Structure 1
Amino acid sequence: LSDIFHFKYDTRRTHSVRTVALHDGFSARVRTWLLREDLRASSDWVQGNLPPLPGAAGTSVTNLSCVTRVTTPGNVSLHCTWLPGRGAPEDTKYFLFYRYETHTEECPTYARDKWDRNTECRFSTTQIKPGEIDKLIVIHVNGSSQRAAIKPFQQLFNQNAIEKVNIPRNISVSLQQNDLLATWEKPISPFHEECFEYEFSLVNLKSGTKQILRMPSNSFRVRLDGGCRYSVRIRANHNRVCRAAVFWSDWSEIVYVGQNKLENSMAWILILLCVSTSCTFLLVAIICKINHVWSKLFPPIPTPSNKFRDPFPIDYE
């Protein structure tokens, strides 16, 4: 066993339950202590071993990473990704299972790489309980291939350490004279409002100045330059009072407030230009229409043509 999975403790019980990864094997040693006021003695160690799980070296998945998210107040989704082992044949098929408390379930939906190997898994619903503290999620990935025995891989995740917070909801941003006022609701979560902190991104689109402000509440007020346009985004995370902060939520959609003075001037210029151009075309059309009606009412008198020949022509010779 590696040091990270090394446990040593005392107990008065005759059994012990621990959740550990077993793909590299497991070893346990136990001895008895006799403790009396005038006597302190111990037995010899006895040891039990579990061999490593079978499979060819280098065929296990690598870079296993998982994230949970509270999709509704009572449901948690699970998303895991991994890379195939360097020694895994191209026909390898990986299969992922998660275990939470006594519940075990295989992944229902996989994504594949260009060799058609499973490299990503999504559980839209799970038995993971939102709001629990320091519960372990066991991920087990095994595989099959006609060219090699695929070695299974196991990894333990603390559900608090891999939860990604949802985006804040119902964001409202408004300008009151030269003050920006923003309010929002906490993300979907079983935790109370006091368990969240927020980052507020404010960008001045005229100067390019960007500020990221951290705050513990779900409202914000700041003085702005009334002649500039701004973009606003917000994201959330747990604070350390209720739970360890690991993954910030995604940023909310951008909200724009304000308008540059130059943009206002250009807008008025464009409006006036459009109006004047329209009026000019309308005047020309009216003039053309009037000339056309006038020509219909008073057509020009035609010049008579000489259609009759003189019956008595004069010959001067």
Structure 2
Amino acid sequence: MSTALLLFLCLIGHVFAKEPPDVQCLIVHLQYVSCSWNKSGTPAVNYTFSSWFEGGDEIPCGDYLRENNLNTGCNRPCNRMDGFDTFYTVLSGGNKPYRNEHKLKDKVKLNPPTNLTVQMGADSNLWFYWNQTSTNCVDSEVQFRKNKRKWENSPVVRGRQSYCINLPSSSFQYELKVRSQLSHSCGGSLFWSDWSEPVVWGSNNSTDVQCLIVHQQYVSCSWNKSGTPAGNYTFSSWFHDGNETDCSDYLRENNMITGCNRPCNASQPCDRFRTFYTVLSGGNKPYRNTHTLKDKVKLNPPTNLTVQMGADSNLWFYWNQTFTSCVDSEVQFRKNKRKWENSKVLSGRQSYCINLPSSSFQYELQVRSQLSDYCGGSLFWSDWSEPVVWGSNNSTDSYSVDNSMSVWTPVLYAVGALVLILLALMLVQNERLRIILIPVLPKPSLDNIEDWFQLSKGLKEDSQATYNERACPVREYIYISPSDNESSDSSDSSDSSGLSVTTDQTDCSVSIAVNDQEDPSTAFSSSKMSTEND
């Protein structure tokens, strides 16, 4: 019974257990400790915060971080060496204060480097410089790319605040940025600073033209993928079997032409199943390109988004897309600003259902579209629509409890205690249940040994005695000498006719005749007498 009660208590305790809010702290640039408790979204409770380092005094927060008029964090000043001591925090505002202990030695995040400059050196190399507050205790990493291609990373010698690119090309545009981290010689850290703002050197002279059909309404072509071009180009284009037309709607960046939108209409149809030709002019020679646009169609994001609770108690999300039968859609949603979850929608459908949503969660939903394979397909999804929101976030984070729970807590504990009492009464009163939970062990004894071994009925009957035997004590036979035998012959002969001798050998009162040959004493005496007469 004790085992069952312990198991039940564990189950009840797991249901009603409350875990404290998760407070996360980080030392920022060795200047202050930044703590937050909004990892799972804006809390519904306005907490107060206090903290102290080991050996110090508890200090209430003087610089709260706020979101939607609620406290979500605190910045507390600190000294450079405080990070090696244990840091304690207290979060108050619910039923009880939540205390936490933090080790911040390896949780230091520096600010990004400042004063970034890049210039061509006298050695014909490209030099990149920056400033960081701590020099001897800082590791740095540089990231650079050419003509907006893939970023390349390169570590820098500890304490150094410069980086060199050997013999750069004048036809490339270089972008460089840097980040810093506390080195292991000063305790180390798990966190890098954010990347600095990039600095640019050189210009991009690339003329690579890329085109895309946008929502079946126009063809958008651009030639600034590798950066702003060095000069202004003119653009013309046509579909196969069509007429070449000059661009009438240029795209500009920093007063430089970087692209063109070519409309699709009756006079200039956009047949994506035909080859598309472009000509870029402005340099020493025109640059001609050939494009296949069948799978390069990008739709506009869906519009008229609505979300509402249906009569079936499910949450319904609706939207509109110009093309219905030829469109695949994908919905993205999250609860209480947590991780986004994606879900595909049947082709042509413009609604999505979330079954039995929780009223304590805030739901965000957005959708995007793509041309389906039934209509030729496309490699491109539309941009995500603007999110729509339903419900409100009533949790401090994934482990915390809101104010409404404090009202129900005594009721829940009372119900749990009542269930335990009823279970105990059932275990005591119900004999069958008691035997099932705690089986009775057999008590061995000579009286019920057969019941203990559970012998079969036939074996019991065979082992029982069917007769009674009286106990008879036995005595030794008395030896009779020949002389005694002769003297007694005369007297015995007179009585031999009708008398018998009773040998007192047993207490069973068995009479044995003298002439009976089965008496061993008589046989023995007779044999001795006959031998002597001879």
Q: What's the TM-score, normalizing by structure 1? A: 0.52
1:143, distance to aligned residue in structure 2 (A): 1.2
1:209, distance to aligned residue in structure 2 (A): 3.1
For residues 85 and 219 of structure 1, the distance between their equivalents in structure 2, rounded to whole angstroms, comes to: 39
**Aligned residue number for residue 334 of structure 2:** 203
**Aligned residue number for residue 142 of structure 1:** 281
**Aligned residue number for residue 354 of structure 2:** 222
**Aligned residue number for residue 367 of structure 2:** 234
Match among 220, 223, 244 for residue 82 of structure 1: 223
CA contact (8 A) 2:319 2:351 kept: yes
Q: For 2:325, what is the secondary structure of its paired residue?
A: helix
- Any stretches of 5+ residues in structure 2 without a counterpart? 1-170, 173-203, 397-401, 404-534
1:231, distance to aligned residue in structure 2 (A): 0.8
For residues 289 and 325 of structure 2, the distance between their equivalents in structure 1, rounded to whole angstroms, comes to: 32
CA contact (8 A) 1:61 1:85 kept: yes
1:257, distance to aligned residue in structure 2 (A): 0.6
1:84, distance to aligned residue in structure 2 (A): 9.6
Q: For 2:233, what is the secondary structure of its paired residue?
A: strand
For residues 259 and 85 of structure 1, the distance between their equivalents in structure 2, rounded to whole angstroms, comes to: 44
Counterpart code for 2:378 = A
**Aligned residue number for residue 210 of structure 2:** 65
CA contact (8 A) 1:70 1:166 kept: yes
* Two-structure CA RMSD over aligned residues (Å): 3.3
CA contact (8 A) 2:366 2:387 kept: yes
Counterpart code for 1:123 = R
Counterpart code for 2:243 = H
1:6-21 map, 5 Å:
none
Q: For 1:225, what is the secondary structure of its paired residue?
A: coil
For residues 80 and 113 of structure 1, the distance between their equivalents in structure 2, rounded to whole angstroms, comes to: 14
CA contact (8 A) 1:60 1:152 kept: no
Decide which structure has greater strand share.
1
Q: Deviations over 1:158-199 (max 9, x none)?
A: 2322221122233221123752111223x334xxx2321111
1:81, distance to aligned residue in structure 2 (A): 1.2
For residues 225 and 393 of structure 2, the distance between their equivalents in structure 1, rounded to whole angstroms, comes to: 52
Quick check: 1:157 aligned with 2:288?
no
1:202, distance to aligned residue in structure 2 (A): 0.4
For residues 163 and 227 of structure 1, the distance between their equivalents in structure 2, rounded to whole angstroms, comes to: 40
For residues 221 and 238 of structure 1, the distance between their equivalents in structure 2, rounded to whole angstroms, comes to: 22
* Change beyond 3 A, Cα 1:167–1:178: same
1:125, distance to aligned residue in structure 2 (A): 5.1
1:205, distance to aligned residue in structure 2 (A): 1.9
For residues 249 and 316 of structure 2, the distance between their equivalents in structure 1, rounded to whole angstroms, comes to: 43
**Aligned residue number for residue 106 of structure 1:** 246
Q: What's the TM-score, normalizing by structure 2? A: 0.32
**Aligned residue number for residue 188 of structure 1:** 322
For residues 252 and 103 of structure 1, the distance between their equivalents in structure 2, rounded to whole angstroms, comes to: 36
1:85, distance to aligned residue in structure 2 (A): 9.7
* Change beyond 3 A, Cα 1:133–1:62: closer
Higher relative contact order (CA 8 A, sep 6+): 1
Q: For 2:238, what is the secondary structure of its paired residue?
A: strand
Quick check: 1:169 aligned with 2:303?
yes
For residues 303 and 253 of structure 2, the distance between their equivalents in structure 1, rounded to whole angstroms, comes to: 35
Q: For 1:194, what is the secondary structure of its paired residue?
A: coil
Would you say how many aligned residue pairs link Structure 1 and Structure 2?
Answer: 191
1:225, distance to aligned residue in structure 2 (A): 2.2
For residues 133 and 63 of structure 1, the distance between their equivalents in structure 2, rounded to whole angstroms, comes to: 20
1:22-37 map, 5 Å:
none
Counterpart code for 1:213 = S
For residues 334 and 388 of structure 2, the distance between their equivalents in structure 1, rounded to whole angstroms, comes to: 11
1:212, distance to aligned residue in structure 2 (A): 0.8
Quick check: 1:97 aligned with 2:274?
no
**Aligned residue number for residue 78 of structure 2:** none
Quick check: 1:119 aligned with 2:258?
yes
Counterpart code for 1:81 = S
For residues 206 and 244 of structure 2, the distance between their equivalents in structure 1, rounded to whole angstroms, comes to: 20
Q: For 1:232, what is the secondary structure of its paired residue?
A: strand
Q: For 1:248, what is the secondary structure of its paired residue?
A: coil
1:254, distance to aligned residue in structure 2 (A): 1.2
1:262, distance to aligned residue in structure 2 (A): 5.2
1:95, distance to aligned residue in structure 2 (A): 0.8
1:141, distance to aligned residue in structure 2 (A): 0.8
Q: Which contiguous aligned blocks of 4+ residues in structure 1 show a shift greater than 6 angstroms?
A: 57-60
Decide which structure has greater helix share.
2
The structure with more radius of gyration: 2
Q: For 1:63, what is the secondary structure of its paired residue?
A: coil
For residues 229 and 237 of structure 1, the distance between their equivalents in structure 2, rounded to whole angstroms, comes to: 27
Quick check: 1:212 aligned with 2:342?
yes
